[in-house]
Amino acid sequence: MLPELIAESCQRRPDSVAVSCHDQELTYEQLLSRVQKLAAGLISRSVAPGTPVGVFLGKSVDAYVAMFGIQAAGAVAVPIDPMAPTTVVAKIVEEIGLTTIVVDPIRARKLPKLAAPTLLVGPAITPDTHNATNPLTWDEIDTFDESPIRRVDPSHPAYMITTSGSTGRPKAMVHSHASGLAYAALAADTFGLTHADRLANVAPFHFDISTLELYASPLVGATAVLFPEALLKFPADVSRVVEEQRISVWYSVPTILLHLLERGALDQRDLSCLRWVIFGGEVFPSGPLGRLMKMIPDARFSNVYGPAEVNVCTYHHVEQVPEAGESIPIGRPWADTHVMVVDDNLREVPNRSRGELLVSTTTMMTGYWRRDELNARSIIELEDVEGVIRCWYRTGDVVEWRNDHLMFHGRADRQVKIRGNRVELEAVETAVVDVDGVITCGASVIDGEQDKILIAVVEALPGTRPRDVITGAATVLPPHAVPDEVIIVDSMPRTPSGKVDSIAAVAAVNRKLTGNRT
């Protein structure tokens, strides 16, 4: 079980720092004690094995304790976006059926509008707080004896990752202790993690990238350094913390690294502590990546790929500084992982032919929570080229094999036709971000009077002009894929995971331009 990783590291190095955030930190001995006491408190309030328990907290040591304490009680941790509006939280609570939530005072104010849970855990929670019928405070939790970790089968659910889903209905991916542990072990092996490492926990806990620091860190006895949500708004402060905390392993979406590159004062920092920079979740244009590699020459860089349903399944170590415009592979599958590239009839396609990527791996989710119809579409049994019948996840991503590496060509649902030509919006965004002065880009199409209009919404450095962006993109894109319009904005909207929300960006600009489009 995942909480047993903490217990094992506690036996080896009880006084080593397990987790740090601001000026608060816990050793492995202290972390294990708090985890076991929270588990005892939940069990005392009749939280049964397999019960989903919400974690509605800002990034903090308490949130870290909550994730493992819930699992140590045999329950299922469900981290909720701490910045989510009440309506979104309400949908998650209803969809998953949450009756127990670990909450802090800031988030607690959002709860009165929700269907009242039966158990709230947090500071200053009283019987009349938000109609909670069975409250549990941290002060009470501190009085409990340290309960042994409640055993469940490793195949049982350990945590859920929730997304809004394309229809607006929340979609929860259920990962077991076994899939979480498999991911932690493969990551530790691939990136040579040891107890001496200090891992930056940049992603929010409701985003799958955070599982590296959550689970691989205690597996090897390393330190997880939490970066609160507010800190990420100030790239120069982020780089300062990397320097001061002697971060050795960084893992985030490229968007955060792009902001660090342009606004993070990297030339003023000693970042020799960084030995590995891992990025994934979206395409990292090669031009900015090359500049970043030159600014942090002591670090290795790796591109990892994998939907939240499978954590990570492929990786590519970027051994040389890439040229501008060069495509970065998503690499090859790591251990215990099989992939196939198939056509619309689920037949494997030849090399250098594009198709949908299927993944079969030990890190795969057990399925979507209460979504049988979605499970039937997304998880299939299929015989591979060796004649072995495996369980595969259909990623919906378009890839091709090229020189023994997988190349990513975007989402099947983000391919559009403009004047009869097929255009991949990810390719447009990648080319635009490679233009000098551009930080991030979101591309989409809007309806013109006679045809589709390809629009690029861009966040850029001062002095960057739309026509310069179009001219730069035209040097690497075919004519039909060059943006018809470039709109420069002060900042780009982000998804809760930190990725650029290109759909929201284009929709906002479209509304501004037309006054009535949505």
Query: How far is residue 10 from each of residues 18, 33, 511, measured CA to CA in Å?
Result: 9, 10, 55
Nearest Cα residue to 271 out of 239, 227, 225: 239
Same domain, 358 and 229: no
pLDDT at 25: 96
| Alpha-carbon gap, residue 92 to 164, rounded angstroms | 9
163 with 30, same domain: the answer is: yes
DSSP E strands, 180-329: 198-201, 223-226, 249-252, 276-280, 300-305, 314-318
187 within a domain of the structure (yes/no) = no
Which of 374, 409, 444 is the C-terminal boundary of a domain? 409
pLDDT, position 478: 80
- Secondary-structure percent of the chain, ordered helix, strand, coil, rounded to 5: 35, 30, 40
Do the Cβ atoms of 413 and 420 come closer than 8 Å? Answer: no
The answer to whether residues 141 and 111 belong to one domain is yes
Q: How many angstroms separate the CA atoms of 363 and 182, rounded? A: 6
The confidence score (pLDDT) of residue 116 equals 54
Question: What's the domain count of the chain?
Answer: 4
Residue with tokens 């690294």: 257
277 occurs within a structural domain: yes
Q: Which of 290, 317, 333 is the last residue of a domain?
A: 333
Phi-psi region of 44 (alpha: psi -120 to 50; beta: other; left: phi over 0): alpha
User: Domain for residue 180, yes or no?
Assistant: no
Q: Which domain holds residue 124?
A: 3-175
**Going residue by residue through the chain (518 aa), what tens digit of pLDDT does each one get?**
999 999 999 999 999 999 999 889 999 999 999 999 999 999 999 899 999 999 999 899 999 999 999 999 999 999 999 888 888 888 898 899 998 999 887 787 777 555 556 677 777 665 555 556 667 888 899 999 988 899 999 999 999 999 865 556 789 999 999 999 999 999 999 999 999 999 999 999 999 999 999 999 999 999 999 999 889 989 999 999 999 999 999 999 998 999 999 999 999 999 999 999 999 988 898 999 999 999 999 999 999 999 999 999 999 999 999 988 888 999 999 999 999 999 999 999 999 999 999 999 999 999 999 999 999 999 999 988 788 899 999 999 999 999 899 999 888 777 777 766 778 888 899 889 989 999 989 898 887 766 788 999 999 999 999 999 999 999 888 888 899 999 999 888 877 667 777 777 777 776 666 654 43
Whether 189 is in a domain gets the answer no
CB–CB of 303/329 below 8 Å? yes
Verify that 383 and 259 share a domain, yes or no: no
Separation between Cα atoms, residue 316 and residue 284, nearest integer Å: 13
Helix count and strand count (H, E) for the chain: 16, 26
Could you tell me if 467 and 372 lie in one domain? no
Instruction: Transcribe 459-496 into DSSP letters.
Output: EE-TT--HHHHHHHHHTTS-GGGS-SEEEEESS--B-T
CATH number at residue 64: 3.40.50.980
Question: Which CATH number fits the domain that encloses residue 462?
Answer: 3.30.300.30
Tell whether 299 and 352 lie within a shared domain: no
Please report where in the chains the tokens 């929270």 appear, as a residue.
Answer: 38
The span from the CA of 90 to the CA of 277, in Å, is 36
389 in the same domain as 288: no
228 burial level (CB within 10 Å; 0-12, 13-18, 19+): middle
pLDDT given at position 12: 97
3-class DSSP assignment, residue 219: helix
Out of 110, 140, 175, pick the residue that ends a domain: 175
Q: Is residue 193 part of a domain?
A: no
**146/71 same-domain check:** yes
CATH number at residue 352: 2.30.38.10
- The SS3 of residue 442 is strand
In a domain, 192, yes or no: no
Taking alpha carbons only, the member of 304, 398, 368 closest to residue 166 is: 368
Cα 59–Cα 220–Cα 22 angle in degrees, nearest 5: 25
Is the domain of 253 the same as that of 346? no
Q: Which letter does DSSP use for residue 515 in this model? A: S
Give me 273's structure tokens: 């502590």
The letter for the amino acid at 504 is A
Residues 221 and 282 in one domain: yes
Let me know whether 19 and 108 are in one domain. Answer: yes
Report yes or no: 160 and 78 within 8 Å, Cβ to Cβ: yes
Q: DSSP 3-state assignment of 348?
A: strand
Residue 400 lies in a domain: yes
CA pair distance 59, 105, nearest whole angstrom: 13
Backbone angles phi, psi at 175, to 5 degrees: -110, 140
Q: Is residue 439 part of a domain?
A: yes
Handedness of CA 180, 183, 187, 188 (dihedral sign): positive
Strand 157-163 relative to strand 355-361, pairing: unpaired
Same domain, 317 and 297: yes
User: Looking at residue 402, what is its pLDDT?
Assistant: 93
